Amino acid sequence: MTSTLAPEWTAACAVDDILPDTGVCARVGGRHIAIFRIGDDRFYAIDNVDPRSGASVLSRGLTGSLGGRTVVASPLYKNHFDLVTGECLEAPQHSVRAHAVRVDGGRVLVALG
C-alpha cells in the first residue's frame, strides 16, 4: 500500500552551517542524521550511525565519488556509503537509511525516510 501522506519536513540546520563537500550531524525525530553539502547546491542526508561500530560518525567522513556514485567514507572502517541510497558499497548488509532533503529560505530541511 502506498502512503498518501505528505512527508514531514524538519528544519535541521542553516545552509551556511555546512561547508561545501563536508557534512554535519543533526538530531531529527530522535535520530542522528548526517547531512552533506556537495559543491554549493547538492544536499544529501543519511543515518549518521556507522552500522559496524555503532558510533555516530558518518557526518565526519570524507566525501567523494566512487564508480560514478556520490559517497562518504566512514572515518572508522572506511566503508563507502552512497549518499543517494544509503547503500554500503563494500557490504550491502551494512547499508543505512537515506532521507529526503530540501533547502527553503536558507534552511536545510530533512524528511525521514
Q: CATH number, domain at 23?
A: 2.102.10.10
- The 3-state DSSP class for residue 47 equals strand
Structurally, the chain folds into a number of domains equal to: 1
Q: Which pLDDT score, from 0 to 100, does residue 2 have?
A: 54
53-81: pLDDT as tens digits? 999 999 999 999 999 999 999 999 999 99
- The 3-state DSSP class for residue 3 equals coil
Q: Is the pLDDT of residue 1 over 60?
A: no
Give a yes or no: residue 75 inside a domain: yes
β-strand partners of 44 = 36
How much is the mean pLDDT over the chain? Answer: 95
Q: Which pLDDT score, from 0 to 100, does residue 106 have?
A: 97
32-42: pLDDT as tens digits? 999 999 999 99
* pTM for this prediction: 0.93
Residue 35 CA to residue 83 CA, distance in Å, equals: 9
Residue 58 belongs to what domain range?
Answer: 10-111
Instruction: Assess contact for 64 and 75: CB atoms under 8 A.
Output: no
At 70, phi and psi to the nearest 5? -85, 125
Give a yes or no: residue 5 inside a domain: no
